[in-house]
Amino acid sequence: MGRRVPRIVRAAATPILIGDPPLLNVLGVHQPYTPRCIVEIETDDGAVGVGETYGDAEYLALATSLADAVVGTPVTALNGLFDLAYEAGGFADDAAPEFDPAGLRGRRTPSKLVRSVVSAFEIASLDALGTVLGLPVHALLGGKVRDRVDYSAYLFYRWAEHPVADAPSDDWGAALDPEGVVAQARRFASEYGFGSFKLKGGVFSPDEEIAAIKALAKEFPDHPLRLDPNGGWTVDTSVHVATELDGTLEYLEDPTPGVEAMAEVRRRTGALLATNMIVTSFEEIPAAFAADAVQVVLSDHHYWGGLHATRELAAHCRTYGVALSMHSNTHLGISLAAMTHVASVVPELRYACDTHRPWQTEDVITTPHVFRDGAVEVPDTPGLGVELDRDALAALHERWRRLDVRGRDDVAAMRVKYPEWTQPPLPRW
Ligand SMILES: O=C([O-])C(=O)C[C@H](O)[C@@H](O)C(=O)[O-]
Ligand SMILES: [Mg+2]
């Protein structure tokens, strides 16, 4: 007789608001608080698993419905989660895609919403299953091929403070020019040991951002550098930047919006182009790869649909000779644990992964991860290797109840300081 498969007896999707610094990007600035959704499932043998995903209203609504729908299903029924989510959400995958400005995640489609929500349930299930079996999540994915996962420092132009009272604050200070960016990089290198840097661009004129990258290259000649203006530049501007920074960048991320424009930049410069905006779902792969519009895909297990789906993405990339790196958005330790497990099992993920985590001062796990030499150790303890901090979860949920922030809106946050600010067109420069 085989082992009995545990069934899910309880599932919950809890919205929280986490403090976020005033980080600038092409659309505007991060709000003081950003929503995340924490998923918990419990099995009939008492195992508990946790997952984390975007917490904007439409994600939360689907997560809440899916939490009801998974009760009674086997904790191993991961392949069935997608159909269950479509059913629970009551929609079909036929809506016309549009650009999703929230989080700069490329196109918004029902299937991407489903995948983003399913990812948290898949991870919570793997966490619970790992606990039941006494195995780490990476073992359930076929086993780690590395013991540590390298992360890249995520540099942002930023203000010292949010322009509102009672907002969360930190001691990083402003970074609004090359000196500020280099000072930020120095602190990331000394406190976390990061060995590579990505600068979020699209904030100032391209020449100012070129100057910032050159200043970084001068100060850190051995650190790979990346620049990401989130599609903020025209093809000609992208060609100018790529030419100026030829030999300086590890890769150039989403310089310009759309497959054709990216392909033209590639043709005209030969620059290595990465994306988390034009290839964000399986449907977008054929056209982008055929046009040679992208040479590095930034995986993001949230919107690709979880850890198994990330491995499927890796197989596509391997087949077409496209490299893999990893995207991040404002997140906490549950997501970082999931990122670390999946990055440990994908042999071709050789670039340091992005993470926003050092910018967050709060978490919902009892022992937040430590970055040593820019890396996180892959845990061998059962499940994800994290423990939910229920008091912290309750406090951040209480904040969600108290404050009326139900989505990420960098444009609205910018308008607080600059009332005339409107959503910038992409490309902007
Ligand atoms: O690589 C990216 O495009 C991102 O990390 C998207 C994020 O939304 C980033 O722009 C941010 O946090 O402002
Ligand atoms: Mg990007």
> What is the domain-level CATH number for residue 27?
3.30.390.10
- Which residues form the domain of 398? 8-137+391-417
Q: Is there a single domain that holds both residue 74 and residue 147?
A: no
pLDDT at 305: 98
What are 227's two structure tokens?
Answer: 């620049």
Same domain, 61 and 125: yes
Do 119 and 308 meet the contact criterion of CB atoms below 8 Å apart? no
Residue 93 has pLDDT above 70, yes or no: no
User: In residues, how long is the chain?
Assistant: 429
Q: Where do we find the tokens 């949230």?
A: 302
Span 253-282, mean pLDDT?
A: 97
Residue 104 Cβ inside 6 Å of ligand 1? The answer reads yes
Pair (153, 130) in one structural domain: no
347: CATH: 3.20.20.120
Same domain, 371 and 397: no
pLDDT at 103 over 90: no
Same domain, 119 and 163: no
> pLDDT confidence of 102, banded at 50, 70, 90?
confident
The closest of 116, 422, 263 to 108, measured between CA atoms, is 116
Let me know whether 93 and 213 are in one domain.
no
Pocket lining: 327 vs ligand 1, CB cutoff 6 Å = yes
Residue 343's φ and ψ, nearest 5 degrees, are: -65, -25
Ligand 1, atom 12, lies closest to the CA of: 329
**Average pLDDT of the chain to the nearest whole number:** 96
Instruction: Give the ligand whose atoms come closest to the C-alpha of residue 20.
Output: 1
Is pLDDT at 95 greater than 70 in this prediction?
no
Question: What is the average per-residue pLDDT within 81-99?
Answer: 82
Residue 422 lies in a domain: no
Residues lying with their CB under 5 A of ligand 2, a single-atom ion = 228, 253, 276
pLDDT tens digit sequence for 300-322: 999 999 999 999 999 999 999 99
pLDDT-based confidence at 276, cuts 50/70/90? very high
Tell me what pLDDT residue 107 has: 84
Statement to judge: residues 90 and 200 lie in one domain:
no
- The structure tokens listed for 19 are 């403090």
Asked whether residue 424 is assigned to any structural domain, the reply reads no
The protein residue with its alpha carbon nearest to ligand 1, atom 1, reads: 327
How far is the centre of ligand 2, averaged over its atoms, from the C-alpha of 250 (Å)?
Answer: 14
Does any domain span residue 29? yes
pLDDT at site 24: 98
Q: Are residues 24 and 146 in the same domain?
A: no
366 and 396 in a common domain: no
- My answer on whether 318 and 397 are in the same domain is no
For the CA of 27, the nearest ligand: 1
| Bond before 22 cis per omega within 30 degrees | no
Confidence category of residue 274, pLDDT binned at 50, 70, 90: very high
* Segment 358-381, tens digit of pLDDT: 999 999 999 999 999 999 999 999
**ipTM value for the complex:** 0.99
Task: Report d(CA 343, CA 325) in Å as an integer.
Answer: 9
Is residue 3 scored above 90 in pLDDT? no
Mean pLDDT value across residues 236-257: 98
Question: Tens digits of per-residue pLDDT, 14-52?
Answer: 999 999 999 999 999 999 999 999 999 999 999 999 999
| pLDDT at residue 218, as a whole number | 98
Quick check: CB of 27 below 6 Å from ligand 1?
no
Could you give the number of structural domains in the chain?
2
State whether residue 60 is helix, strand or coil. Answer: helix
pLDDT value for 92: 67
Q: Is 425 inside any structural domain? A: no
Residue 133 lies in a domain: yes
Element (H or E) spanning 397, and its range?
helix 390-402
The answer to whether residues 332 and 279 belong to one domain is yes
Ligand 1 atom at shortest distance from the alpha carbon of 408: 8
Q: In terms of DSSP bridges, do strands 8-19 and 33-43 run parallel, antiparallel, or are they unpaired?
A: antiparallel
Residues 36 and 154 in one domain: no
Ligand 1 close to Cβ of residue 23 (< 6 A): yes
The yes-or-no verdict on residue 96 having pLDDT over 70 is no
Any domain includes 427 = no
Q: Is the CB of 393 under 6 A from ligand 1?
A: no
Cα of 276 from ligand 1 centre, angstroms: 9
Q: Which atom of ligand 1 is least distant from the CA of 254?
A: 3
Which residue carries 């790869």 as its tokens? Answer: 289
- On whether residue 426 sits in a domain, the answer given is no
